[in-house]
Amino acid sequence: MFRTPIRFRAARRGALRRIARGAWVACALGVIAARAGAQAAVDPRVAPRAAELEREGERQVATDLLGRYLAVAPDDGRAWFQLGRFYLLDARDWHAAGHGGDPDGLLYLDFSATAFDQAIRLLVDSAAVYRDMTEMERALVFVEDSGWDAARERRPRSDAPPPPPFVLELGTNLLNSCPASGVLLTGGELETFSVWYVSLESSVRPDVTPIRPELYATDSLYRRAMAQELGVDATLPVRRALAVVAARRPVCLTPFTDTAAAPPLAWQPFRLVRVASPTERGTEPLSFVEITRAVRTGTGTWVPETRAVYDRAAAFNSLLCGSLVLVSGDSPPPACRR
């Protein structure tokens, strides 16, 4: 039977002031989106201006700007997208700040999901992927409370649309590149998202444990949960913890993993990853069908980022060059041009 995690229950039992405010904001977003006929025309300058303010360190000012604007121009999909992205960043900052503050991370994720839903409705590129990123951040809260296995088996599922097929293919390929019972460190946002989504939403490679090394180094709740999963002392820093793990399990690095988190071991290229302490390597096939189709048709906002992961992998493993010819189209990976 499903048991709501302690911190999920605690969030629901928060102060009445916080709940009332959160309910009002969520209700306001829904009312704004449902209004028939905008009171003002869409202003294409607002979303870029909000993004610029966020880059300048004024995210709250940018959020307030978008809130006021969307109250009178609810059909601006780019503005909804930026609002959702800001709330997603707020949720990540909540983790970085020690899981304190008001509102909490889950409430920020509720706001983010609502905003991205409106961006999807208005057919904004990347909105569906970011909507799924919101769900992966919600899964992170579940992992911190109940552990990785519980998140795979019992966390609430979302009805958000799935990511593009070539993103799912990337996550599957990265998981299938890690040997049996491996620990897979992920680096870039797309790598992490694709691996987490495939691992949590499907039955692909349940023997592989994904690790976000930057969170392991900075987030005490995540480190505690994953240290228990890995069977190591939670007080160990990430490099020492992984060195202990590598004595009994293969450890794998995705192409964009920050090697500062990796212990000083003998790393060997294998498929899309680098592996330490390899055991018998798996035979699950890699697939480049979806990314090849996306490159040929020129569709998919995340195609350049996905190709960058494959290109980076080829820089470590020249054996990939033959497989990546079709993926690369007219521009093969730099490592394959020599």
| Tokens linked to 208 | 């592989």
Mean of pLDDT over the chain: 86
| Residue 205 and residue 176 in contact, taking contact as beta carbons nearer than 8 Å | yes
128 within a domain of the structure (yes/no):
yes
182 within a domain of the structure (yes/no):
yes
- The residue type of 3 is R
- pLDDT tens string 83-124: 999 999 999 999 999 998 778 899 999 999 999 999 999 999
C-alpha span between 319 and 271 (Å, rounded): 8
- The residue type of 11 is A
Whole-model pTM: value is 0.88
* Secondary structure tally for the chain: helices H, strands E: 16, 5
Same domain, 26 and 171: no
Helix, strand, coil percentages for the chain (3-state, nearest 5): 60, 5, 35
Mean of the pLDDT values across residues 186-204?
94
Same domain, 147 and 166: no
C-alpha span between 85 and 267 (Å, rounded): 36
Same domain, 20 and 139: yes
296 within a domain of the structure (yes/no):
yes
- The distance from CA 335 to its chain's CA centroid, rounded to whole angstroms, is 27
| CA atoms in the 13 A half-sphere facing the CB of 220 | 5
- The distance from CA 163 to its chain's CA centroid, rounded to whole angstroms, is 11
Q: Of the ranges 101-110, 162-171, 295-304, which is most confident? A: 162-171
- pLDDT tens string 230-277: 999 999 999 999 999 999 999 999 999 999 889 999 999 999 999 996
Higher per-residue confidence, 279 vs 29:
279
Which of 125, 154, 183 delimits the end of a domain?
154
Number of domains observed in the structure of the chain: 2
51 within a domain of the structure (yes/no):
yes
Same domain, 287 and 232: yes
Same domain, 328 and 195: yes
C-alpha span between 19 and 272 (Å, rounded): 45
pLDDT band at 322 (very low <50, low <70, confident <90, very high): confident
pLDDT of residue 15: 37
Q: Is the peptide bond preceding residue 103 cis, with omega within 30 degrees of 0?
A: yes
Is the model's pLDDT at 40 over the cut of 80? no
Which of 154, 187, 212 delimits the end of a domain?
154
Q: What is the domain range of residue 12?
A: 6-154
Same domain, 189 and 311: yes
Mean of the pLDDT values across residues 130-157?
93
Question: What value does the CA radius of gyration of the chain take, rounded to a whole number of Å?
Answer: 21
Which of 136, 154, 172 delimits the end of a domain?
154
Is the model's pLDDT at 41 over the cut of 80? yes
